[in-house]
Structure 1
């Protein structure tokens, strides 16, 4: 199993290109199941999760062609061969559940294994299922699978009022509603940029959608969707991660393709910590040149609030802040597993349930640490950039699910980061 070796103490200077959004692309790819025409996605990230979704779609009969080194995906579901998403593939990634809505809408049936993914809490799929039931789906959970069927004549429009904001459930029902008879109103919908990106893609395919980016989305079902080409939105989590790199170890980085509107709440916290952020013609430039950052309090919230997927990386920054910071995790339980590993590097962190208190220290010290999930992996690499000596981050297979060529990107701006092949 590979590890990442980080030598701390080097300021950064240079450009980092921001890839297409993993979470957006993983949602856009299943949209091909809604049409028998081709869907072409550009600016696709080159990640292991994308390969997993590719395998899943191919198992259903979708033809997937990768071009331009994997940054362009051509998907065609003109001749589906099945509607069963097997456990052996689905267990690797929670986003696999997103084939459920499209299959049900187009084929009238689906069998989808309950998903796996990072160990950051229960994250049940009950909101997905109850939403599809509002469109008339009949569901049966047995043997670890969701067995779903649509009524005679297909899904029908309805009112879906989520008790909690759920990105994945919003995406699933949004795709299903495009082919449902009548009008669907999705209330308390997620507002994330990935939702907006999906709606724009579906609209390019001929869907009738209004209200994406707000808490109420209206979908008027159509008979069929058409071929389309769509550019995947920039990855706001990769963007925020690389914005933190110079904030943690000093210097500057220009994030090419970055947009302030994707990370506005995150930028507010960096500004409060004393980090300089400038909009440029090509993205966002982040710099830190003088002294320690200031302590700030952070509470994760659904978009447009502070993203849960940047909480671990933000904690790494606050480990060396001047003062005491408090972090509140409101999205997922069990998402402070990186804290004990940061403490191995000398951080002072006290975790009580969904709250963590971080008392900044002047310097972290390199140590062997273990990644527990995707965002924890990169948070430990960031911490290593600011630490004295060498940090070895073990179990980084999570990392390749969400960050493409992280060693190359950080290395190009002056970081000393290398991959150590596993035995």
Structure 2
């Protein structure tokens, strides 16, 4: 239980349009599977421009638990996996971060066995690992689910044809990590097409893996006997870029995103423009003008890439409550990702949840108060709402936000927002 005497808050004074320039951190959703990929070699891999966020630090600790040596040089993370022969992920770590489950495939490829607790992370609905287990079984692993633990063993993983019944980023990454050292050829069909899949494949190819992504999205892998260490740069985070874009819209501000992954943001920018936001590209920069963001959305639906990302549904909702008129949001990825709505209503918004859809009656003034982040992206959305609200908002549980945002307070303060991180005791 949380110590009631501890303070874990972001204090935001709202009512100021954002303006200025911000640089986008490295991608969380790319860094984590690439860190798992490092386990497949016996050398020292480096991840340049790696974000210093809680989830990366947790994955780093897990790799250390497995025997790796790690160190940082500024934002470059070095992973020496020469002696990373451990096969057990302690439940303490697996319960804190869902992405830890993708280490199963890497541990099987390296050591032939693996054991982990069921993965935890944000509470946004059911996130089963059945597809992870199925893909590993297809590749020849023997899986035993024992209470709260998953045990996996194999003699040697074998290539196979795998058809995913539905798109899953994590299960696709799991399969790729397991297949690169498997005997023979593997073909994945129906797999996820998110950018982080492509980045993972590129990193592994640089380690000596033989991977081809076909035009239809299928992934063909010819197993190799060994991989050498890897080196690559983590790309900018499209979800962080989208979060700051939404913050500009909510405050009707004008900002410059210095290095956003614009080519990965088509669906995000389309929604932003439908709200009335304007933007244009100059070189590698995105010039954002949210002054005219005043149009409700008839329907915003989340979907797998290249659709609108579920991770930006909550930040988009925080914008729509500031826009007069009725907007509708349908969440198609996670069934319990409307937790934010009750907190926005507590701040003065009018939102109904019915028939699996959020109906936002926008334009009611938001007021500062005490709210609580319950998960990563909902926490970031509360920061956006607080920036647009009248008065002071205290957002408790900022540790959730730090799972994916390296310096959200510093970034938004540099853009003219008034944010203070408050940690201490009452």
TM-score (norm 2): 0.96
| 1:68-119 alpha-carbon deviations (Å, 9 max, x no partner) | 1xx1011121112411111011111000101100110111111121111011
1:42 pairs with 43, 48, 59, which one? 48
TM alignment of 1:23-38, pairs within 5 A: 23-38=29-44
User: Gaps spanning 5+ residues in structure 2: where?
Assistant: 1-6
- Match for residue 212 of structure 2? 210
Runs of 4+ in structure 1 over 6 Å off: none
| 1:210-253 alpha-carbon deviations (Å, 9 max, x no partner) | 11785311111011111221111111110100011111102211
Kept after mapping to 1: 8 A contact 2:98/2:121: yes
TM alignment of 1:18-417, pairs within 5 A: 18-68=24-74, 71-151=75-155, 154-211=156-213, 214-290=216-292, 292-417=294-419
Deviates more, 1:276-285 or 1:332-341: 276-285
Kept after mapping to 2: 8 A contact 1:248/1:383: yes
Deviates more, 1:294-303 or 1:82-91: 294-303
| 1:102-160 alpha-carbon deviations (Å, 9 max, x no partner) | 11011111112111101111201010000011101111111321111113xx1010011
Kept after mapping to 1: 8 A contact 2:276/2:292: no
Kept after mapping to 2: 8 A contact 1:295/1:360: no
- Secondary structure, counterpart of 2:304 in structure 1: coil
- The CA RMSD measured in Å over matched residues stands at 1.3
How many Å separate the matches in 2 of 1:249 and 1:235?
22
- Match for residue 418 of structure 1? 420
| 1:345-401 alpha-carbon deviations (Å, 9 max, x no partner) | 111100125310001114222121111100111101101111111111111110111
Q: How far has the Cα of 1:322 moved from its partner?
A: 2.7
- Match for residue 9 of structure 2? 3
Kept after mapping to 1: 8 A contact 2:10/2:398: yes
- Secondary structure, counterpart of 1:343 in structure 2: helix
| 1:282-309 alpha-carbon deviations (Å, 9 max, x no partner) | 3212112247344342101000000000
Q: How far has the Cα of 1:171 moved from its partner?
A: 0.2
| 1:158-179 alpha-carbon deviations (Å, 9 max, x no partner) | 0111111100000011011000
TM-score (norm 1): 0.97
Q: How far has the Cα of 1:43 moved from its partner?
A: 0.8
Kept after mapping to 2: 8 A contact 1:192/1:213: no
| Alignment size in residue pairs | 419
User: Gaps spanning 5+ residues in structure 1: where?
Assistant: none
How many Å separate the matches in 1 of 2:247 and 2:371?
19
Kept after mapping to 2: 8 A contact 1:199/1:212: no
